[in-house]
Structure 1
Amino acid sequence: QALYLLLLGSLPCALAMAACKEEEYPVGSECCPKCSPGYRVKEACGELTGTVCAPCDLGTYTAHLNGLSECLQCRVCDPAMGLVTRQKCSQTENTVCVCDQGYFCVSEDGDDCAECSPHTPCRPGQRVRARGTERQDRV
């Protein structure tokens, strides 16, 4: 019976947290406006104040409306993995890495390549039938 009362008492809180709009994020039982891309939450909203947002520091970003207290770390294109930078990180976009010339992607992370390998060299007496691309080894 005590468990039933405990569960019943927590129901209004659970319902209040789920009621935020897409452009809001929950803080306790309140809904605060999210920060714009390129910004993070510096101070959550209060009863009479809106969310205070701060720009992302160098080397960090947020790409969407968010309720994050810290911006996301920018990706680093590791040359040891055969990667080079196609597009540098900005406050609103993560770094875009691609395979260096002469390499092709062997491991993907979402839409980005995470690791590249060198194109297979032809052995003596062989010739290239199809040139390698950024996504495919040569044949």
Structure 2
Amino acid sequence: CWEPGDAVGCFDKQYEHKGRCCNRCQPGEKLVSECNDTGETVCARCESGHYQQSWTKERHCAPHDICEDNAGLIVKTQGNATHNTVCQCRAGMHCSDTSCQTCVENQPCQRGFGFVAAKAMAQMSSPCEPCAEGTFSNVSSKTEPCHPWTSCEAKGLVVKVEGTNTSDVICESSRRSSLSVLIPITAAVVTCLVGICIYCLVHT
């Protein structure tokens, strides 16, 4: 943490003042008075709404950023004496540029596309992405992501209708699935037997 003019003999958490090595103020504090022949450096806690995140000899703490409601911003992480406030856009909005001082409304993601929240914090265009294989979105929304298909197997069921990027899988019980196969086969067998019986009756 050396600064131009600091004495070479001072430690990194000190600074040179009138030929002496004075202690820097710790994070969360600001300088009140320099060290001298009669005492050490005097520091004070940063006032409310201000912070200092490094060892310093500054007499003022920096003010926290303000998350302006009319800019579409809300507080993500509240600032304290050592860290600045972190803002983010409200749901349904994304940063207007990389500095993210203001937010703009998302364009709705159409069916088959999902909203990606992580991209909304950094991109200037509405972050819609096509739903990947195994996921779907059946609504037009500014906030809804793609949702995974239902796992029929996890529910002890079998797939009746495969999912798409706009629709979920439709499940049914394995018993019903078996019946749906057996019934046509049984019907075919019965039809054949009836046909044979009729043939025999006609030719006897």
Give the TM-score, by structure 2 length.
0.51
Name the structure, 1 or 2, with higher relative contact order (CA <8 Å, separation 6+).
1
The equivalent of 2:42 in structure 1 is 52
In the alignment, structure 2 segments of 5+ residues that lack a partner are 121-125, 129-204
Please say if residues 17 and 28 of structure 1, whose CA atoms lie closer than 8 Å, have aligned partners that are also in contact.
Answer: no
Amino acid at match of 2:119: R
- The answer to whether residue 101 in structure 2 is matched with residue 101 in structure 1 is no
Distance 1:32 1:57 in 2: 23
| Shift of residue 99, structure 1, vs aligned partner | 1.2
TM-superposition CA deviations, 1:66-115 (whole Å, max 9, x none): 11101111110112222101122211211111111111123344xxx433
- Aligned match of 1:115: 102
Q: Alignment partner of 2:70: what SS?
A: helix
The change in CA–CA distance for 1:18 and 1:115 in structure 2 (over 3 A counts) is farther
Percent of residue pairs bearing the same amino acid type: 29
Task: Decide whether the 8 Å contact of 1:62 with 1:91 is kept in 2.
Answer: yes
Conserved 8 A contact 2:49-2:79: yes
Structure with a larger share of its residues in strand = 1
In 2: Cα distance, 1:76 partner to 1:86 partner: 11
Please say which structure displays the higher CA radius of gyration: 2
Instruction: Indicate how the Cα distance of structure 1 residues 102 and 16 shifts in structure 2: closer, same or farther if over 3 A, else same.
Output: closer
Greater fraction of residues in helix: 2
Q: CA deviation at 1:25?
A: 2.5
Q: Name the TM-score, length of structure 1 as normaliser.
A: 0.72
For the 8 Å contact 2:119–2:127, the answer to whether it is kept is no
Matching residue of 1:92: 82
Distance change >3 Å, CA 131–CA 69, structure 1 → 2: same
